[in-house]
Amino acid sequence: MLLVSTDLLARQMPPADVEVYEINVRAMAPTIALKGEVASLQDAVLSAEVEGLLEDILLVGAVVKKGQVIAQLNRDRMSWQMQRAEAELASLRADLAFRRSEVERFTVLASQDNASKTQLQRELANTQMLEQQIVLAQVNLNEAQRLLADTAIKAPFDGVLAARHAQVGELIRVGDPLVRLVNTEIKDIVLPTPIQYQSFISVGTPLLVEYRGKTLNLPIRHVVPIGDPNSRMIEVRIDANKTPLLVGDAVTVSVPKAHSSDEPAVPRDALIIRGAQTFVYRVSADQQAEQVLVKVRFADGDWIVVDGPINAGDRIIVRGAERLQPNAKVNVKNP
């Protein structure tokens, strides 16, 4: 039986089509995967400021604009209070008009010595007291108007009704929660991070975020420089605006745990793992696939820093290496 070596067989096979990546030096840092959660920057439970019977309330899932009425309490009692305050104010203003005419009359009489100055001063004092009563009545009217307006619970910002805490027909008291309103457009990733990694991150640092099988590179919006004494964690806020992330989404974030350094990095797709061995294929000058054993040091997103005889400028196969044999002829499809 004729035996043919693997190396000879690989040389005799037609060249395999492959795609390569030319290694260059990148600023890389080892990372740690941390769990985070997407949270809205505007998430509020709206409560009643007045007492009344709940007459109407929007359904969960309703999309509302700032200033839109979300719930309506009965207006009758507040409307009566406002009418009472309006009537009292109108009465005082009419009395004031009469008092001012009396002051004018006593002023003329006093100038003609037909009335005493004491009477004039008494009328002036009564007029001033009435003016202060009108100020108080106006305040009472303003308060009544505010209470009437508060029977309509309005959205303080754009958002979606995430929950209802009351039903039509219930008696609502001051402070009772009615709905939870969430702005789904303004959101952050809240990431508890060990204190020891704080020096490796800063505002604007892009971090790799994995969610539901997808990835995003998002910048840090803020690092809260206050650690929890129990967990020894600080809070990192990552800007998640204009992303498909949903409020409440769970994410995994790669956070650097050392300062970055310039390293020759290979794409993750270039690594081939067979058994206990990890290797890449390098294209030689004569268009052969050289198998190079490597050891993974750390990953930074889609890039891997490895230990092994790999240098900047080497062409590493990233597509088509799955069935290659060492020293097989290859046809590089990309430049």
Q: Would you tell me the crossing angle of helices 76-111 and 117-149 to the nearest 10 degrees?
A: 160
Domain ranges (residues) in the chain: 16-30+261-332, 45-177, 184-256
Digitized pLDDT (tens) for each residue of the chain, 335 residues in all: 444 455 555 556 678 888 899 998 888 888 899 999 999 999 999 999 999 999 999 999 999 999 999 999 999 999 999 999 999 999 998 888 887 787 777 677 666 665 566 776 777 787 888 888 999 999 999 999 999 999 999 999 999 999 999 999 999 999 999 999 999 999 999 999 999 999 999 999 999 999 999 999 999 999 999 999 999 999 999 999 999 999 999 999 999 998 888 888 899 888 998 888 899 999 998 888 899 999 988 887 788 888 888 888 899 999 888 888 888 888 888 76
The token pair that represents 139 in the structure block: 């305040």
The token pair that represents 88 in the structure block: 């009292």
Q: Quick check: pTM over 0.75?
A: no
3-state secondary structure of 130: helix
pLDDT at 13: 67
Mention the CATH class of domain 16-30+261-332: mainly beta
Residue pair 31/297 in contact (Cβ under 8 Å)? The answer is no
Tell me if domain 16-30+261-332 and domain 184-256 are identical in fold.
Answer: no
The token pair that represents 44 in the structure block: 């509020």
Candidates 270, 334, 335, 275; CA nearest to 308 is 270
Select from 3.40.309.10, 2.40.30.170, 3.40.50.11260, 2.30.30.60 the CATH code of 184-256.
2.40.30.170
pLDDT at 3: 44
165-205: pLDDT as tens digits: 999 999 999 999 999 999 999 999 999 999 999 999 999 99
Q: Dihedral, CA atoms, 57, 59, 60, 61, nearest 10 degrees?
A: -120
pLDDT at 1: 42
